[in-house]
Structure 1
Amino acid sequence: MNDDKLKDLFKTQTKKETENEPEDILQVVGFLVGSEEFAVPILSIQEIVKPIEFTRVPGTPNYVLGVFNLRGNVFPLINLRLKFGLPEIKQNKDTRYIVIKYNDEVAGFVIDKLTEAVRIKEADIDPTPETLNEEANLIYGIGKQKDRLITILKVEYLLKRAF
């Protein structure tokens, strides 16, 4: 997939209130993993659910918790804390499974806490810093929202690198 198609997935067109020029807006859902805030495009989210029972699968990486059944469909379940090299913690009242879909690929990701849906102007998203070469494919950019920074993840790479 080329970068232009990727950008189209992340953007929606809105009108500036004072002008007739279109303005690129990225609508994302934010969540915490550890103390960092991440986000994915809202259109890539199939569902967000409270933790449910899952079945371990032998021979998978430690961050793949197993599989879970959601309305008759079985999906892999990835712990983003472990995937991002953070220590595992016990699930609590804030823990959620965020089910992400890209094309025909679907997986559930364990997040520490859901934050909020956010609309970020494309102009307020900085490209991935060059020092993050290894993670460059995973990160779409760094969104600036008032007094905080949100790391926006590329869904297709998150799913591709999930296993």
Structure 2
Amino acid sequence: MNDKLNKILQKQQKQVTDPEAKSREEVIQLVGFIVSDEEYAIPMLNIQEIIKPLEYTRVPSVPDYVLGVFNLRGNVIPLIDLRKKFNLDSTKQSEDSRYIVMKGENNIAGFVIDRLTEAIRIRQDRIDPAPQTLHADKGMIYGIGKREDSILTILRVEALLKRDF
């Protein structure tokens, strides 16, 4: 027990003397999902809820990736097809399709995904910044998470929620 206590005390002392050590060990909680054949994730704190597909109403004069709006308990929320937003071929929704309702500081929107994967916990030091070549893509990518057997594209929710329609 003394050895374990010493390790904890050493770790705390290291965090005091090297504040960046704490941020490297910080764990971020994400929700993973599939769009096309790629896995993406967003921070759990930005998710209002995940629901099965609902009926939606088309809205004229919006970009093709905006499917329309839907009513969620009295709130009218825009619905965005992530396949179309990412310039991928669209497909018919399946029984695995879900709407992820994301919230930011001032915006809320629903996003169509192909299927959920899992809740993910990843340390900050396992996330690399988005490659320089990807910054031109409206800054949608927060970073690339390195997992044991794969990599994961972590999306920036505020960029997804930014209204250009």
**Alignment map for 1:44-59 (pairs within 5 Å):** 44-59=46-61
SS at match of 1:134: coil
1:108 matched residue in structure 2: 110
TM-score, scaled to structure 2: 0.84
Query: Rg larger in 1 or in 2?
Result: 2
How far off its partner does 1:26 sit? 1.1
Residue 65 (str. 1) matches residue 105 (str. 2)? no
Structure 2 unaligned runs (5+)? 1-6, 16-21
**C-alpha distance in 1 between matches for 2:47 and 2:60:** 27
1:131 matched residue in structure 2: 133
Q: 1:143, 1:150 within 8 Å by CA — same for their partners in 2? A: yes
Give a deviation string over 1:107-150, Cα, whole Å, max 9, x none: 00000010111011010001111121312611110001111111
1:154 matched residue in structure 2: 156
TM-score, scaled to structure 1: 0.85
1:99 matched residue in structure 2: 101
Structure with higher helix content: 2
1:74 matched residue in structure 2: 76
Q: 1:128, 1:136 within 8 Å by CA — same for their partners in 2? A: no
Amino acid corresponding to residue 64 of structure 2 in structure 1? N
Amino acid corresponding to residue 133 of structure 1 in structure 2? H
Give a deviation string over 1:87-107, Cα, whole Å, max 9, x none: 110100110000000012100
Structure 1 unaligned runs (5+)? 1-16
Larger deviation, residues 103-112 vs 129-138: 129-138
Q: 1:141, 1:151 within 8 Å by CA — same for their partners in 2? A: yes
Number of residue pairs aligned between Structure 1 and Structure 2: 147
Q: RMSD in angstroms over aligned alpha carbons? A: 1.5
The correspondence for 2:142, drawn from 136, 140, 143, is 140
Q: 1:78, 1:162 within 8 Å by CA — same for their partners in 2? A: no
Structure with higher strand content: 1
The correspondence for 2:35, drawn from 33, 36, 49, is 33
Identity %: 59
**C-alpha distance in 2 between matches for 1:91 and 1:56:** 16
How far off its partner does 1:162 sit? 5.9
